[in-house]
Amino acid sequence: MRIVVVGGVAAGMSCAARARRLDEHAQIVVFERSEHVSYANCGLPYHIGEVIEDREQLLLQTPQSLKDSLALDVRIGTEVVAIDAQARTVRARDLQTGEEYDEPYDGLALCPGAAPVVPPLPGIEHPAVHVLRSVADMDRIKAAVDGAPDRAPIAHAVVIGGGYIGLEMAENLRHRDVEVVLVEMAPQLMPPLDRELTTAMEAHLREHGVQLHLGTRAAAFRDGPDGRVRVELESTATVTTDLVVLAAGVRPQTELAVAAGIELGPRGGIKVDDHLRTNLPDVYAAGDAIEVEHAVLPGAWIIPLAGPANRQGRVVADNLCGRDSIFSPVQGTGIVQVFDLVAGGVGANQRQLEAAGIPFARVHLHPSGHAGYYPGTSAMHLKVLFDPDTGRLLGAGIVGFDGVDKRLDVLATALRAGLSVFDLEELELAYAPPFGSAKDPVNMAGFLGANLLRGDLRQWYADDYPAAVDGARIVDVRGPDEFAAWHLPGAHNVPLAELRERSQDWDRDLPVRLYCAVGFRSYLAYRALAQRGFTDVSTLAGGMTTFRAALELAPQPGVDSQAPVVNYAEDRTGANRFSP
């Protein structure tokens, strides 16, 4: 058996290594056009920021180490330029010598990955404009940040893109005391998350000195003074900087596949079946270049994440070696840390469910990362979406300072297993004061969701305002000081302790819309009124914390606002604090 693998990073090396473990006698050749193989590309921003000081820590393997441990024939600096499916050969080109030769295969694994999106803008070739995808890219950016004997370190950078790589670059450049401007074409950071979850991220970035331009994009790059570059934005703003990092997404590298007659899917990625086979015999594909089935949403999707890429490489190896392995749908589980704040999501977000016409219910809650009486915790914002009939999980998003990764992994596992909010109620999770609460945030999400589906709770939502409160009695059940600091227009302050007595003379047929800080006191008020004969009562999901994150603080497109924002749980005492 002769296996050829095109691409030597996540999917490609996972495939090659798995194939060797399954077949000790196979001949396995890996072609990688860069000078590095099996490197930790997710760690590249952290070496630039010197969080990872030793560059060699990112170079997990070398051709020699792979030959010694797995008997793999790894050829770096070699690009596969053509596939002849009829002859069962690939044409390889040595990028140093230009020499070309044909390599035969019995089974072929295409793992070409994805390339950074580089828009065709005026001045995009400016030497100060960089992408970050490879070790060589990292070295060039770090050299600029470090400076040289004849060149001062850079003092200012513009990052284009507010996704995973853009946020990590912004953070790591700030670690190096570089002034950072971040530009994102969407009206929010982290477009995979719903808007109300990203407000705290934007506040946190600003507090750490990152200037944000949201709802706009780069229009051109012009020569600036002293070798700098002027970044012109569609919002008409201009930023003069020393360095630009393009992190505006990636596109699947499919040129080789298209030239060979391999079919693409509707989103422009390589089309594969559930065994990751292409339409050519004995040719498989894996990694960032392929389209996959989503665990929640219909249709084919391109989801360039390291975890799925590694699993895809294993599935391809299984099938090349005679096993019958199927790749399961992708959930899109992702997480990012920005300074002290962590944000992540799994499954579908609300916008995606609405676009796909998938019915859903949702809950918002703001539990602490661990027991509130134990030092070092703060509230997180947890949003869970689920089927309104069965309660089956459809997606979740979380942002907070501690315990986010733990809850995200539990919810990702639950979604994979097809669990419902009723199942979340029953999960028995690890608890001690430093780690969690007796009622874990995941349990609490289950309690809320199950209450909603059982009819023990009715909610109104920030994105339904003001229609949701039209013609209703708006009741703020917080304390007088909280009410005086900020409240909804037209609201009446009836603290929870006074509600039962003061509501005795209210019209029970008049709609009542309740709210508090995070939704707990208003839930208690809801139960009290619902059992006193009020026919139309509902409580604000997630309370004013969610409301202000969703509505009040949304930036206007193109506006670089440094205005104060909600400083959500920033002091880590277990209590929330707000700017009025």
* Residue pLDDT, tens place only, 109-160: 999 999 999 999 999 999 999 999 999 999 999 999 999 878 889 999 999 9
- For residue 578, being part of any structural domain is answered with no
Domain assignment present for residue 64? The answer is yes
Mean pLDDT of 201-228: 95
Q: Are 224 and 369 in contact (CB under 8 A)?
A: no
In this structure, of 70-74, 386-390, 558-562, the range with the lowest mean pLDDT score is 558-562
pLDDT single digits (tens) 399-444: 999 999 999 999 999 999 999 999 999 999 999 999 999 999 999 9
Provide the domain count of the chain: 4
> Could you read off the pLDDT of 32-43 as tens digits, one per residue?
999 999 888 899
Task: Based on the fold, state whether residues 186 and 133 are members of the same structural domain.
Answer: yes
d(CA 159, CA 248): 9
Burial level of 467, CB count in 10 A (0-12/13-18/19+)? exposed
**Taking the complete model, does pTM exceed 0.85, yes or no?**
yes
Three-class DSSP category at 521: helix
Query: Does residue 299 sit in the same domain as residue 231?
Result: no
330 within a domain of the structure (yes/no):
no
Asked if residue 244 and residue 133 are part of one domain, the reply reads yes
Same structural domain, 486 and 445: no
Residues 220 and 134 in one domain: yes
Place of tokens 């498989």: 284
Residue with tokens 């992994």: 409
Angle CA(446)–CA(448)–CA(450) in degrees, nearest 5? 65
User: Which residue among the candidates 15, 42, 321, 516 is catalytic per the annotation?
Assistant: 42
d(CA 493, CA 482): 10
Picking from 419, 540, 383, the residue whose alpha carbon sits closest to that of residue 475 is 540
Is residue 359 pLDDT above 70, yes or no?
yes
Domain for residue 306, yes or no? yes
**3-state SS, residue 116:** strand
- By CB atoms closer than 10 A (0-12, 13-18, 19+), residue 567 is middle
Cα dihedral sign for 400, 406, 412, 414?
A: negative
Are residues 200 and 242 located together in one domain of the fold?
yes
pLDDT band at 552 (very low <50, low <70, confident <90, very high): low
Q: Are 151 and 100 within one domain?
A: no
Domain boundary, last residue among 204, 221, 248: 248
Q: Residue 479 class from Cβ within 10 Å (0-12 exposed, 13-18 middle, 19+ buried)? A: middle
CATH number at residue 480: 3.40.250.10
The verdict on whether 111 is a catalytic residue reads no
Q: What are phi and psi of 341, to 5 degrees?
A: -95, 145
Q: Please check whether residues 235 and 296 belong to one and the same domain.
A: no
pLDDT > 70 in the chain, percent: 95
CATH number for 442: 3.50.50.60
Task: Indicate if 231 and 257 belong to the same structural domain.
Answer: no
Q: Determine, yes or no, domain membership for 103.
A: yes
Q: What is the largest CA-CA distance in the chain?
A: 91
Q: What is the pLDDT of residue 232?
A: 97
> Do residues 146 and 239 both lie within one domain?
yes
User: What domain range includes position 441?
Assistant: 340-451
261-298 residues labelled b (16+ CB within 10 A) or e (exposed): ebebbeeebbbbeeebbbebebbbbbbbbbbbbbbbbe
Q: Token match 């996540």: residue?
A: 10
SS3 441: helix
**Are 283 and 233 in a shared domain?**
no
Q: Which of 451, 483, 503 finishes a domain?
A: 451
Is the per-residue pLDDT at 580 higher than 90? no
Same domain assignment for residues 109 and 70: yes
Which of 200, 233, 248 terminates a domain? The answer is 248
Mean of pLDDT over the chain: 93
- The count of other CB atoms within 10 Å of the CB of residue 306 is 17
